[in-house]
Structure 1
Amino acid sequence: MSKKILFILSEYGYWGEELVGPLAACDEQGYQTVFATPTGKRPVPLPPSLDPGYIDPPLGRSVTTPEVAAAAAELDRSGRLDNPVSIADWVPDRPYNSESGFLRRIEAYYRELDEVAEELRSFDAMVIVGGSGPIVDLANNGRVHELILAFKRADKPVVAECYGVACLAFARDWEDRASIIDGKHVTGHCKEYDYKDGTGFVGVEFNMGPPPYPLEYILRDATGPTGRYHGNVGHETSVIVDYPFITARSTPDSFLAGQKLVEVLESGLRRYGW
C-alpha cells in the first residue's frame, strides 16, 4: 500500500521550494499526499519565492532557480492545492478553563482528540512547510500542536522547514509543558539569515520588519542542555534527522529534507547531520 503524507501549509504564504522539494520526493515514490491549512483556505506561495531574480538580503544572492520557480508556479496553477483539509474542522479547540462546565468540555475534547489520532493512523508522516506564513497561523496554533503530538505518540516522522520548525518547539503536552524537542538535535532559520526588514505575508499589506522572534534562540532554549541547535552557517544546506523529527534550516534544504524523509520511511534512517 502506498504511504500517505500529510502536508501542513500556512494561509499567509509558503515558500515555493519548501513545498516543491519534499512534495517532489513524495511524488517520485508514489506516496499519497493530503494538504491541510488552518481554516481550509487555499495556500498561496510567497511572491518572492516565484522570482528567480529576487535577491535574498542576508545571503546577497538569489535563492530560487528558474527551474524551481517554474515548478512552484506550475503547482500553484494546478488543482492540487484547491481544496485543503480544514484543521479547524478536523481538530477540536481546547476549551478555556473559565468556560461553564469545563470538566465535561475537557473530557469531550480529549475524546475528540482520540478520534483524530485514530484517523491519523492512515498517515505515515507529516510535513510542515516553511516560509514566513507559519509565523502567523502555524507556530502557536494549538490544533497544529495536537497533530504533531499525535504523530510523535504514534512514532511517526515529522518534517519541519524554516519557520515551521517553531511548531515543534511550541508543541507541548499540557501535563509537563516540556518541548517535544527537548534533548533533540534540530536546525532552523538561523539569526544570520534572518531579515533585518521586509518580512511579509500573503493577503495582508504589512511589512513586519524583522521576524517577530529569532527562531534560533527559541530552538536553542527548547532543545535544552542535552540537545542542540545546529545553524550550520556558511554550509549551503542544513538538514538534521533526529528521529522522529526531520528539520530543515531554510529554502536550499527543501529537496534534501524530502530525500531524508524517504530514507526515514524506506530505509529506517534515524540520524543524519550531527
Structure 2
Amino acid sequence: MTKKVLIALSEHGFWVEELMLPLKHLQNAGFEVDFVTPTGQLPFPDGASLDSTYVDPPLGRTVTSSALAEIGERQDWGVLFADRMNLKDWFPVRPYLSADNYIGHLEMYYEQRAKAWENLGDYDALLLVGGSGPIVDMVNNQRIHDLILGFYYADKPIAAECYTVTCLAFARELDSRKSIIAGKHVTGHTMEYDYTDGWSIVANGDYLNFGAPPFSLEYILRDSVGQNGQFHGNVGRKTSVILDYPFLTSRSVASSDLCGKVLVECLTEGVRKYGWK
C-alpha cells in the first residue's frame, strides 16, 4: 500500500530547501503527499532561500545552492499547493476560560478534536517544514499542536525542521501541560547558529526585522526534554538529524536532505533511532 505523508507549511515564509529536498525523497520513494497550512492561504518561500548569494550571518557563508535557488524560482507554487488544505477546517480552537458554559465548550472541543484525528488515518507521517515563518503561525498554534498530538497518539512519525521543532516542544495536553518530547533525544538551532541581528519574517507584506530570533530554541528544547532526555546541538558538524521515534528533528537547512532520507528509512525500513549513540 502506498505511503502517504502530510506536509504542513507556514503562510509567512518557508525555506525552499527544507521543503524540496525532503519532498524529493518522499516522491522518489513513491509516496503520496498532501499539503496543509494554518488558514488555507497559499504558502510562499522565504526570499533568502531563493538567493544563492545570501550569506547566513552565524555561518559566514552562503546556504542556498544555485541549483536549489533555480528550482525554487522556476517552481509554480500555486500549482504545487493547488490542493492545499486548511487546518482551521479540521481542528476546533480551544475555548477561553472566560467563555460562557466553559465546561460545555471544552467538552465539545475534545469531541471535535477526536473527530479531526480520525481524518488523519490515511496518513503515515507528518512533516513540518522549517524556515522563519513558522514562528509566526505554527510554533504557538494550538491547532498545529493538536495535529501533532493526533500523529503522536497514533504512533506515527513526526518530522520537524528548523524552527518547527519548537512545535514539538509546545505540543502538550491542557491538563498535564507536559511536553511530548520529555525524555527524548532531539536536535535544533543552538545559540551558535542563532542570529544576533537581521533575523526577520514577512509581516503585512514586508520584512519585519526582529534583530535576534524571538526566542532561543536551544534553551526551550533543553528544558522540554528534561533530565531524562538530551539535546544534541552537534555544533561544527554540517548536519544534525536525530530520530528518537516518533520524533525526527532536523537542525537547519543543511540537514534537510538527510532529514528526508531518514524519514523514508523510518517509513520503509522501520528505523526508529538515528543520530546519537
The two structures have a TM-score, normalised by structure 2, of: 0.96
Which residue is equivalent to 1:25?
25
Residue 81 (structure 1) shift:
1.6
Out of 251, 264, 267, the position equivalent to 1:265 is 267
**Change over 3 Å in CA distance of 1:222–1:267 after alignment to 2:** same
Contact 1:40 1:83 (C-alpha < 8 Å) held by counterparts: no
What's the secondary structure of 2:175's corresponding residue?
coil
Residue 82 (structure 1) shift:
3.2
Which residue is equivalent to 2:222?
220
Which residue is equivalent to 2:174?
174
Residue 70 (structure 1) shift:
1.9
Which residue is equivalent to 1:164?
164
Which residue is equivalent to 2:154?
154
Residue 72 (structure 1) shift:
2.5
Q: How does 1:60-75 map to 2 (within 5 A)?
A: 60-75=60-75
**1:208-264 superposed Cα distances (whole Å, 9 cap, x missing partner):** 111000100100110100101111000000000000000000000001000000000
- What amino acid is the match of 1:73? E
Task: Provide structure 1 residue ranges, at least 5 long, that are not aligned to the other structure.
Answer: none
Residue 88 (structure 1) shift:
1.4
Matched, 1:124 2:121: no
Please give the alpha-carbon distance, in whole angstroms, between the structure 2 residues aligned to 1:51 and 1:30.
30
**1:161-181 superposed Cα distances (whole Å, 9 cap, x missing partner):** 000100000001122111001
What's the secondary structure of 1:13's corresponding residue?
coil
**1:72-119 superposed Cα distances (whole Å, 9 cap, x missing partner):** 233344601234211112110011121112222111111111111111
Please give the alpha-carbon distance, in whole angstroms, between the structure 2 residues aligned to 1:205 and 1:78.
22
Please give the alpha-carbon distance, in whole angstroms, between the structure 1 residues aligned to 2:116 and 2:20.
27
Which residue is equivalent to 2:247?
245
Please give the alpha-carbon distance, in whole angstroms, between the structure 1 residues aligned to 2:83 and 2:122.
19
Q: How does 1:83-232 map to 2 (within 5 A)?
A: 83-202=83-202, 203-232=205-234
**Change over 3 Å in CA distance of 1:45–1:76 after alignment to 2:** farther
Which residue is equivalent to 1:13?
13
Moved more, 201-210 or 149-158: 201-210
Please give the alpha-carbon distance, in whole angstroms, between the structure 1 residues aligned to 2:234 and 2:207.
33
Residue 205 (structure 1) shift:
3.3
* Fraction of identical pairs, as percent: 52
What's the secondary structure of 1:79's corresponding residue?
helix
The answer to which structure has the higher strand fraction is 2
Which residue is equivalent to 2:236?
234
What's the secondary structure of 2:126's corresponding residue?
strand
Residue 137 (structure 1) shift:
0.8
Task: Provide structure 2 residue ranges, at least 5 long, that are not aligned to the other structure.
Answer: none
What's the secondary structure of 2:80's corresponding residue?
coil
Residue 198 (structure 1) shift:
1.2
Contact 1:44 1:76 (C-alpha < 8 Å) held by counterparts: no
Please give the alpha-carbon distance, in whole angstroms, between the structure 2 residues aligned to 1:83 and 1:28.
20
- What amino acid is the match of 1:156? K
Matched, 1:81 2:89: no
The two structures have a TM-score, normalised by structure 1, of: 0.97
